[in-house]
Structures are given as structure tokens and as C-alpha cells.
Structure 1
Amino acid sequence: MGIRLLKLLVTGTNKPPAVLNFNGALHLVFGPTDTGKSYTLDCLKYALGGSGRPKDIGHSSGYTSVALQFKSDTNVDYTVFRSVVSDESILYEGLHEIPPSIDIPPIKPGIPELLTSLSGARDKKIITGKGAIGNLTAGDLRYFSMFDEMKTLGDIPLVGKDRKLQTRYRSALSLILSGTDDSTTTLPTSTKDNTIARGQVQALDEEIKSLRSGLPKDAAKPDLQEQLSRIDSQLLEMSKYLQVNSTQLQSLKETRQEIQSKIRDLNTRRSAATEAKDRFMLLDHKYHSDLERLHTLKTAASVFASYEARPCPLCHTDISHQTRHAELAETETQTVSTASIAEMAKIESLRAGLAQAIKDLDEELGQTASELTILHSQDSENLSQQSALLAPTSSTIKTGISALSEQRTELSLAIRDIERIEQLEKRRGEFALRTKRQTQKIERNVASDAQAICTRILHLLRSWAVPDVESVHLDLDDADIKINHRQRISYGKGKRGIFLAAYAVALMENALARKHPHLGCVAIDSPLVTYKDPKYGDSEDALDDAVKDKFFDWLANRQEHGQVIILENEEPNAILLSRIPHTEFVGKYGAKGRKGFIPIA
């Protein structure tokens, strides 16, 4: 598992590329201060997904892109390009010095996901905080693989000072050590969950209080259930009674429907007959008026000839001068009288027929009234028979279905509310437990792996001739080691650096040998501080030059799994240097050779 770094390239417009070849093997980068060694490590971390951009070292201005070529343990080549301006990262399969054409699509989703996959960390869970669990990320892998000068020589344990990250780093170290993640760990509630639980308890208390306010005073669930049982028995008795008479009752209801239908038909017929009679009576009255008018006309015609002609009382014109006088004179009054008599006879004949029709309607109305009387009597009798069937025969039935049903509903609702209260109180108890702050106690079985890497650290330190190293222990709380029962950071810079180098290498070798998650390489800045500060005399914290030689000899002969990259001020002797793949930076004012990581004219 893991990756091997091949080449680092930093480029910019109109800038000569800065290139460092690692070739997938161990590599030493050495040279004086301010030659870009730390900048090189910043670029490695940035290319591998780190959030911090490489710090500007003056002559790095104008370099805007970092590219890193690396190989997986299955020998698949990859190249990642990342912009120092936008932080955009693009990943491709294959080796490229510039982003390839659009014909070669980038790999999705990107470098963080690829690193976790290649390092055996995909879907591995770690505890990231109190009551919280998450995935082991590429950032966790980088943290235990890339060591800048501050982490190497600083006086802060690897767990760091940020309390928010300490739990995460302890969990990540445990996973790298043991290969067992925290997916099955039972977690205490987080602070956020505590707050949510308190809100839930308050809401449940309000709901319980509301439900109790609607219950009868001193209502007990067993008493209510007993009352409900009695009502159910009463309703069952009533149901049986009604079921016995249901057939006869249904027959009476069907008969009454027929009676009601006939009554409706007869009422319709009676209304129609009454309306027809009213119209006929009105017509007879009209005929009577017509007869009186014709009789008057007949009488006037008979006496008209006996009247003397006289002048007009208004204009005094003699009647003989009137235009129609001659016509009137010619009209025979007998004709008028005869016509009136004929018309009167016709009307009398019509009245006779109308009188017969009215008589027929009166007979029909009488018959209808008689039939209605009989039907209403039958309807009344039918209702009486139904009432008799429905009449209660016991005190239970006298109570009535409606009243019993209402009582049953009230009792059922009360019992339901009590059961709801019981459920809410149970949930309240569960949430109440979550409101209590709990200490997160995590037990991990890392003893055998911890012993293995401590043994390896001790072996490395002794092979490097680091003096006075008697024991090495792992402190999971600090995510760091103790030397001779002292914290690593309690020593001076010289020993802190060399101790951390042994720790980082042993951790990587153990993880790769046991196929535990790891990036597969380590890069360590300034592990060797061999000076003796005259201010402190022969301090135990300063390392002898022999340590440097032993360290570089180990580096030259190293055959174990994993890639080791060392960035150091110290230079090995010529014999050792010839055996170690290396890159030397001579500095701005140094002898001939490469001035630094960034090309300087």
C-alpha cells in the first residue's frame, strides 16, 4: 500500500522550472539555510492536498503551479497539478510535466480520495471529536508522514495544541498502529447532542403536561380500562338484541319505504287535481261573466229601436248628419239579439262540460284523500311496530347506543393519552441520559503494535549511536513517544529531531509491513542537529557528529519498506554521499552547483 514520490516540479510563466527527482526511492536533500529545503516540503504537502500554500521565499515569486509525479504500489503512475493562485487541483493518470490535452480526462474525484484509497484508508473510521466519528482522511495521512522543521524540532507533542484536533490525531495514530478503525466504538453524546437532548426533554415535558391537563382527575389506566370493558359488554348486549330483530326491522323499513313512495305519488296526484280544479273554476267564472255581458247586449238590442233620435249634446249636430247613422239605421237590432242568444247557448254548453269535469276532479280528490288517510294510518302503524322492536328491554339498552358510544370514545381517548404519556416519559428518560456530560473513554488494543514500533525505534536509535537511550515507550495521549520515560519534547532540539525521525520511520515500516493505512513515504525536515552550543557546554541534548555519520550510513544501506526523504543542513562525508541518492543545494554564495530548489541565475 501507499505511494512513492517520483518528481516534484514547480513552474511559472517565463520562469525556469524547479525540478527535484526522487525516483521513487530514498533521497537526501541537503544544503545551507535559505536554499528552499523547507519550501520543497511545503510543495510536497500542498501537492498532496494540504491546505497551506507554500510560503514565499523571495525568489519563488512568479511560480504559480506545483506538480507532483508519484507511483502506486501497483506501479500505476499519477501526476497532480495544483495552482498556487486558485488552489485548484487536477489529477491525471500517467507522468506529465504540463497538464495534458483535453483528450486525456482528469481523474475524479481527486487527490484526497485517491490517496486514501492507495494508502488503504478508504472508509476507515476514526473518532474526530467528542461523540463524533468520521473518515480517516488524506490530511491525517500527511500529518503522520510529512514533518516540517517545526514538527521535527518543536517542543509540542505530535498530538498538537489544538484541542479540536487532538482526539482526531490520537484516533488516526491508533488506526495506523493497529489497522483497526473506530467504526464499532460506542461514543458518548457530543456537546451538540447534549444541547439537542435538553431541548427534547423540555419539549417532551410540555407535551406530557398538556396531555395530563386533559385527563380526568386521578385517572388511572387500569380503572379506565375496566370502565371501557363494561361499556364494550353493554354495547355487545345491545348489538345482539338489535341483531335478533334486524330481519323483521328491515322488512318493516322496506314496507314503510313503499308506503312513503305511494304517499308521495298520491300527494302529487292531489296537487295536480287541485290545480286543475282551480283552473276550471276560474274558467267557469269567466264564462259566467261572458253570459252576463251577452245578456246585457241582447236586452239593449231589444230596446234600441224605441229611443228617439236627438242631436249631439256636445256639438248639437243632428244625428242625420253623422256618417254612421245611415249604417246604424240599416243594421237590424234583431240580428244583434239573435247573435247574442246563439253565443249564450254555446257558453252554456261549455259550462255544462266544465261542471262535469269539476265534478270528476272532486271525486278524484275525494278518493285520493281516502287513500292517503289509509296510507298514513299504515305508516303510523309501521313506525309503531319499528319502535316496539327497538324499544329497550333492559337498563343497558335504555342507556342508548349514542350515549354508550360517546362514553366509550372518551375513555378510549383518555387511555390513548395515558399510553402516549408513558411513551413520552420513556423517551424523556432516554434523552435525559444524553443531557448528562460523559467522559469519553476509549480503549484500544494497540499494545503489540506499540511494542513493535518501540522496539524498532530503540534499534534505530542505537544503530545511529544516539547515546543514553535505554527504553522507548509510546504515549497515545500525546500521540508521541517517551525516551527513558521522558517525553520526547522534554529533550533539546538535537534529540527531539533524531527521536522523531526514528518514530516516523518505525511507524511507516510497521504500517506497511502489516498492511495498515499509511501514505507509504515519510519526508523529514532537519532531523539532525549535531552542534554543541558553547552557552550550555556539553549538553546532553546535543548530538555528537558520530550520530550524523551513523544516520547517513543507515540511510545509505536502508532496504526496508517505504520511501524516506530527508531534508537536512548537514552533509554526509564523501564516501557515504556517493552511496545515497541526493540533491545538493550549495546556496547563493556557495561553490559551483545548484544554488537551491528554485533556479537562481
Structure 2
Amino acid sequence: MKSGFIINRLICKGNDLEEVYIDFDPNAHVIVGLSNRGKSYIFQCIKYMLGSQEKPKRITESEGYQYCFLEITLFNGESKTLCRSLDGGDAQLYECKYSEIVSFSESPITLRVGKKATKTVGLLNDYLLDVVNLKNKKVRRNLSGNTDKFSFSFMRHLTLIDETSIIKESSPILTEQRGEETKEKSIIRFLTTGKDDSGIISRPKKEVILNRRGRIELIEQLIDDYTSELDSYSYSSQDNKELNEQIDKIESSINELNNKLYQQYDRVKEYELAIDGHFKDLKENESRLVIIDELLSRSKLLSQHYENDIDRLESIYETNILFSELQLVNCPACRKVLDTSEHLECDAEDISRINTASVIEIEKINNLITELDVTQSNLELERYELLVKIKNNRDGYLEKQEQVSQYTSCDIKDNIDKLDVFKNKLNNLKQISHIFEKIDSLIYQKSNYKKEIDPLNGNYDFDDLTTANMTELCETIKVLLNDWNYSDVDSVSFSELECDLVINGENRQLAGKGYRALSYSAFIIGLMQFCIKNNRGHSGIVLLDSPLCTLRSKYVINTNNIDKKDIIMDSTKEKFYSAISQYKGLGQIIILENDAPAEPSSLELGFTEFTEDKNLGRYGFYPVS
């Protein structure tokens, strides 16, 4: 089984009261006992725990019991426990066995019942649909094609059959609720074919049609407005493909121009780097020229000083020569008489030393002048070279600037102008394309609205439940009926008119109560086995209340008031119990009955008997004092 679950245990709990529970066999379990011992209460509790808003009826024995728990095992082996208050309300989901709840560290998950989901709280219905692999499915509910999202409750009348419904004369497929027949047929068709009605487009309501017609009129006016706007662009072609080709060509041209401009800007950068180099060299050379001019100016002053010094020294030298040839009375230096013994500070040799020193100093100065002349010559040469370099720098600077200016004003400007033209044209074409897109979108909306008004152009012939759909299921039901010794069943088919089984050529509803109950059971169990074998979504459980007890032969006195067609023989009962005990891996069958199999211990099924005897076995579902 690839989806669904089985029921492990049903528990009712109250404060300071003994827990009551019943453990179920995973394949088949029979609970027997006379009326009013708790069988119907078990049915109500299971139905309640699987999402029904109808609370179990309060019976005397249930006073003080507040909570109901249902432990289940999913198809993948995981154990879960559902909990609901017997007074109603939402469910709590524990992701563990019932016995592990006490030590379970995580908080239970709240699942809403009979309400809408919120951002933080989900639905019990959605959880169960996930488990049985039926979430996000849809079934058609009327002849107009309107659909309902599949709910777990849609399966309730096909899995949980009470003692009243099991003998009804009407179809087991239909609940006889007003307006539900189409949906209930769609449910069976979905289960037997595996195809739901998600793809159906339904016929809209009258107010929707009026709304859509108003929108169509508005769309047509918008289309006219956009068509008039197209005329203002003087665009002759109505071919959107041709327009897109033009846009592609212009975009290609724009990309080419952009690439050229990038290359031209790179060349301008090269020119600018060259201009910067010339400018830098120019400023460096001009700075050096200023320094050279300053050095030459200073060297000229220094040369003048040297010449003045030489003149002074030569004057001293000539004066000393002249002075040595004169006959003087007094010393020119100290004003004393030269020939007296009192003239001690000066000596005639001093003049000779002065002359010698002057000659030596003049030689030094001449050497310095020679060196200065060399320096001045070098500076003058460097100055000349600098002037040449400065002129070349200035000429190169002006030349590159002229080249950049011409390149920018001509080539780059031409390409920029072309680019602007292309961009303007591209913008216009894109505007036209945008208008085309709006018109196409409006036409598409108009088409959808027309389809919504009449999606199938008046043809609403939806897939329906047919005899062909039911053929394989009918074969499964035939096998079950023969297993149970229903009678010699040669054929089982489906009547589209009655929406019911035809057994050996006779409508099921014409059979007696007992055999209607048995054939109803075969349909319910057969549907479960069919779904499991074919990987269709199904809960994996069926619960049948009193499929055999109606007019059982051992309780019937042969009178004219009883039709023999109503009577189920003991042999059929025993065959039924024996057969269901052998169905392994095809779902869980739970039977609530008045009469037990002759030897339940010899059968491979779970068995619980309510004895209604305080001193023998289990009295009922609830204990009695």
C-alpha cells in the first residue's frame, strides 16, 4: 500500500477514570455484541476522529470521559495519534504512538476542523488528504462544469457504512443528498480511472457573463485607441515579426557604434596621455630654464666681482712698484721717518711680499674666472637646448590638442550623432512594439473572456461515470461475492441508469435486505482493494456496521411475512468471515456485528466480543459498575 493508513487503537480518556480502548488487527477485525453495548459508539468515534463535525452521542457509560484518541499507522510505517475533545473542537496531532505521548517532548500540531486554515494552523482534512494521496484533486459537481476541491469527507460514504445505510435500496455510490449526485458520480469515476476534473473549465454564472461582456467592450475600445496611436508613428507594416527584425538590426548597429566609440575613446585617452607627457616635459624644462637663467645671472655678477678684484690687486701691485722707486722721508704706512731708528713696524721687504701675494691672488682669481667661464658656457649650452626642448614640447602639446579636438569634433561627434539617431529610432520602434504587445495582450484577454463566457462553445459534454469505467471494479466485486457464497455469481456489471450494480442480470436494489447489505459490503471492500491494487488514493480502511445481521437465518421463523431473498444463510456468514481474514495487504476491514463466526480463534483476524455479562469477558466498550 503506497498511501493511506490503518487504525491501531481507539482510546477514550477521562480524569480519574479508567482508560477504555480497543486494539485493531491491521488486516481484519470483528467486533460482535448485542445492541447498545458500544458498537455504534465505536463507529461514531472513528467517524468523528476522521474529521466529522458530528460528535459521538453521549451515553450513560461515557459520562466523565473527555477525550478521544485514535492511533494510526501510515503506509510508510510512521505512527501518529489524533486527539479530539468529545465535546467538539479542533484536533491535535501527536507524531508518535499513544503510549509515547507522556514522554513525547514536542508539542502536538493543531489541525482545524470545520474551519478555514490560517497561516500557522492547518486543517485535519488537508492532513488526511496528504496521507491518502488525494490532495489538490478536483471533482465536477454540476452539469455546468463547476468543480469542488477534493475533501476527505467525500470518501466517508465509501469507507464508513452505518447499519442504516448498508441495507438501503439506492445506489451505494450516492448519498441521496440534494444536488450531490453529479459530484458523487465524479468521485467514483476519479477513483476508478485515476483522472480528476482539475482541467475542466466551467460554464460561468450570469453575473460573471455580464461582467465579462463589459470588459470585452472596454478591451475593444482600448484596442481602437492603441491602433490610432500606431497611426501617429507612421508605421506602415502590421507585421510584428518584421518590426522585431528592424529592432534587432538597429540594436546591432547601436552595438557596433558603441564598440567604435569605445575604441575612439581609448584613442583619445592615448592622445591625452601624450598631451600630459608634453605638458609635463614643458613645465619641467621651463622650470629648469628659470634655474639656468638665475645661475647665469649670478655667474655674471660673480665674474664682475672677479674682474674688480683683479683690478684692485693689479692697482696695488703697480702702486707698490712705483712706491719702491720713490725717495720718501716718512714711511707711507706708519708716517715715521724711514731712516730713523724709531721706524721698527715696517720694512721694505713688506712691499715685496705684498706684490708677491697680489700676483698669487690674481692667478687664483684668473683660474676661478676660467672655471666660471666653462660653467657659463655649459649653462648657455643647456639653456639653448632647453629652449629647443621647450619649443618642441609646446609644438607637440599644441599638435596633440589639435588632433584630439579634430578627432573629437569630427569622428567621435559623427558617431555620437549617428548613435542618437539610432537610439531615437529604436525608441520609436520599441514604443510601436510595446503598443503591438498591448494590443496582442488585449486580444488574448478578449479571447479568454469569450471562452469564459462560453468556454466550450456550448458543448458541455463532460466525462461521466460509465459502465466501461466500472468494468474492472465489477470484476473485483464478483470475486468477493463468490468468495462469500453470495450465490453463484456469473456476472457483475454497472447500470448507468440506476448508478448501481447489476448482479447476474438483476439490479442490486431488487435483492432482499440481507443480500443488499452483503453486496453493498462487496462494493465498499472491492473499491478499497481496487484502489490499493491500482495505486489510487484511498484511506485504506473500511468500517461496516452490521453487514450480516439483517434477517440472519438463525433468527428467522419461516413465515409468510419474510421473503427468502432477505435471508443470509449461516454458510454465507462463515464464508464471509473466512474470506476477509485472508485479505492481506489490501486494506483494513473492521466489522461491527451481532453474530460472531463459529470459531473465531481459527481465523486470522482480530476479534472482540461484548458479552453484556459483568462476570464474563468484556461487557461493552465502556466498563460498568
Structure 1-normalised TM-score? 0.58
Query: What percentage of residue pairs aligned between the two structures are identical?
Result: 25
The answer as to whether partners of 2:467 and 2:495 remain within 8 angstroms in 1 is: no
**CA apart distance, 1:480:** 4.2
Measured against aligned partners, the alpha-carbon deviations of 1:185-230 in whole angstroms (never above 9, x if no partner) come to 65353453x4311343256569989999x9xxxxx99xx99x999x
Give the counterpart of 2:7 among 5, 12, 16: 5
Measured against aligned partners, the alpha-carbon deviations of 1:225-253 in whole angstroms (never above 9, x if no partner) come to 9x999xxxxxxxxxxxxxxxxxxxxxxxx
Q: Distance in 1 between matches of 2:127 and 2:219?
A: 50
Alignment of 1:486-497 (within 5 A): 486-497=506-517
Give the counterpart of 2:189 among 174, 195, 208: 174
Q: Tell me whether 1:521 sits opposite 2:533 in the alignment.
A: no
Q: Tell me whether 1:549 sits opposite 2:574 in the alignment.
A: yes
Measured against aligned partners, the alpha-carbon deviations of 1:306-355 in whole angstroms (never above 9, x if no partner) come to xxxxxxxxxxxxxxxxxxxxxxxxxxxxxxxxxxxxxxxxxxxxxxxxxx
Q: Tell me whether 1:94 sits opposite 2:96 in the alignment.
A: yes
The DSSP-based 3-state class of the residue aligned with 1:594 is coil
Structure 2 partner of 1:581: 606
**CA apart distance, 1:13:** 2.9
User: Taking structure 1 as reference, are residues 590 and 450 closer, same or farther at Cα in structure 2, changes over 3 Å only?
Assistant: farther
Instruction: Extract unaligned runs of 5+ from structure 2.
Output: 111-121, 237-437
Q: Distance in 1 between matches of 2:37 and 2:18?
A: 16
Structure 1 partner of 2:157: 143
Aligned residue type for 1:442: D
User: Taking structure 1 as reference, are residues 476 and 523 closer, same or farther at Cα in structure 2, changes over 3 Å only?
Assistant: farther
Give the counterpart of 1:133 among 132, 147, 151: 147
The DSSP-based 3-state class of the residue aligned with 2:164 is helix
Aligned residue type for 1:472: V
Alignment of 1:385-464 (within 5 A): 439=460, 441-443=462-464, 447=468, 450-464=470-484
User: Taking structure 1 as reference, are residues 99 and 450 closer, same or farther at Cα in structure 2, changes over 3 Å only?
Assistant: same
**CA apart distance, 1:425:** 10
Q: Tell me whether 1:52 sits opposite 2:82 in the alignment.
A: no
Q: Distance in 2 between matches of 1:8 and 1:422?
A: 62
**CA apart distance, 1:15:** 3.2
Measured against aligned partners, the alpha-carbon deviations of 1:421-441 in whole angstroms (never above 9, x if no partner) come to 999999778756755676452
User: Taking structure 1 as reference, are residues 199 and 10 closer, same or farther at Cα in structure 2, changes over 3 Å only?
Assistant: same
**CA apart distance, 1:73:** 1.8
Aligned residue type for 2:208: I
Aligned residue type for 2:210: R
Structure 2 partner of 1:558: 583
Structure 2 partner of 1:593: 617
Q: Distance in 2 between matches of 1:172 and 1:70?
A: 25
Measured against aligned partners, the alpha-carbon deviations of 1:55-106 in whole angstroms (never above 9, x if no partner) come to 2334323322110111112211111101122322001111125854683232
Q: Distance in 2 between matches of 1:433 and 1:110?
A: 34
Q: Distance in 1 between matches of 2:59 and 2:200?
A: 45
Measured against aligned partners, the alpha-carbon deviations of 1:262-301 in whole angstroms (never above 9, x if no partner) come to xxxxxxxxxxxxxxxxxxxxxxxxxxxxxxxxxxxxxxxx
Structure 2 partner of 1:18: 20
The answer as to whether partners of 2:31 and 2:39 remain within 8 angstroms in 1 is: yes
Q: Distance in 2 between matches of 1:228 and 1:581?
A: 84
User: Taking structure 1 as reference, are residues 201 and 426 closer, same or farther at Cα in structure 2, changes over 3 Å only?
Assistant: farther
Give the counterpart of 1:200 among 204, 212, 216: 212
Q: Distance in 2 between matches of 1:441 and 1:132?
A: 11
Aligned CA RMSD, in angstroms, stands at 4.1
Structure 1 partner of 2:279: none
The DSSP-based 3-state class of the residue aligned with 1:52 is coil
Measured against aligned partners, the alpha-carbon deviations of 1:439-487 in whole angstroms (never above 9, x if no partner) come to 452157984x732321221122122111253321235676643323444
Structure 2 partner of 1:474: 494
Moved more, 28-37 or 62-71: 62-71
The answer as to whether partners of 1:33 and 1:569 remain within 8 angstroms in 2 is: yes
Measured against aligned partners, the alpha-carbon deviations of 1:362-403 in whole angstroms (never above 9, x if no partner) come to xxxxxxxxxxxxxxxxxxxxxxxxxxxxxxxxxxxxxxxxxx
Alignment of 1:62-461 (within 5 A): 62-97=64-99, 100=102, 103-107=105-109, 109=122, 111-129=124-142, 130-157=144-171, 158-178=173-193, 180-183=194-197, 186-190=199-203, 192=205, 194-201=206-213, 439=460, 441-443=462-464, 447=468, 450-461=470-481
Aligned residue type for 2:546: S
Q: Tell me whether 1:465 sits opposite 2:478 in the alignment.
A: no
The DSSP-based 3-state class of the residue aligned with 1:49 is coil
Aligned residue type for 1:599: P
The answer as to whether partners of 1:170 and 1:478 remain within 8 angstroms in 2 is: no
Q: Distance in 2 between matches of 1:564 and 1:426?
A: 54
User: Taking structure 1 as reference, are residues 578 and 120 closer, same or farther at Cα in structure 2, changes over 3 Å only?
Assistant: same
The answer as to whether partners of 2:495 and 2:501 remain within 8 angstroms in 1 is: yes
The DSSP-based 3-state class of the residue aligned with 1:15 is coil
Q: Distance in 1 between matches of 2:14 and 2:496?
A: 43
Measured against aligned partners, the alpha-carbon deviations of 1:150-178 in whole angstroms (never above 9, x if no partner) come to 33122332222224433332222223223
Aligned residue type for 1:198: L
Aligned residue type for 1:592: L
Aligned residue type for 2:475: T
User: Taking structure 1 as reference, are residues 535 and 51 closer, same or farther at Cα in structure 2, changes over 3 Å only?
Assistant: farther
User: Taking structure 1 as reference, are residues 156 and 592 closer, same or farther at Cα in structure 2, changes over 3 Å only?
Assistant: same
Structure 2 partner of 1:499: 519
Q: Distance in 2 between matches of 1:514 and 1:572?
A: 31
Aligned residue type for 2:24: F
User: Taking structure 1 as reference, are residues 65 and 591 closer, same or farther at Cα in structure 2, changes over 3 Å only?
Assistant: same
User: Taking structure 1 as reference, are residues 60 and 19 closer, same or farther at Cα in structure 2, changes over 3 Å only?
Assistant: same
Q: Distance in 2 between matches of 1:44 and 1:424?
A: 54
User: Taking structure 1 as reference, are residues 36 and 440 closer, same or farther at Cα in structure 2, changes over 3 Å only?
Assistant: farther
The DSSP-based 3-state class of the residue aligned with 1:122 is coil
The DSSP-based 3-state class of the residue aligned with 1:67 is strand
Structure 2 partner of 1:374: none
The answer as to whether partners of 2:12 and 2:21 remain within 8 angstroms in 1 is: yes
Q: Distance in 2 between matches of 1:63 and 1:578?
A: 35
**CA apart distance, 1:490:** 3.6
The DSSP-based 3-state class of the residue aligned with 2:84 is strand
Aligned residue type for 2:575: K
**CA apart distance, 1:567:** 0.7
Aligned residue type for 2:620: G
The answer as to whether partners of 1:69 and 1:96 remain within 8 angstroms in 2 is: yes
> How many residue pairs were aligned?
406
Aligned residue type for 2:180: L
User: Taking structure 1 as reference, are residues 228 and 176 closer, same or farther at Cα in structure 2, changes over 3 Å only?
Assistant: closer
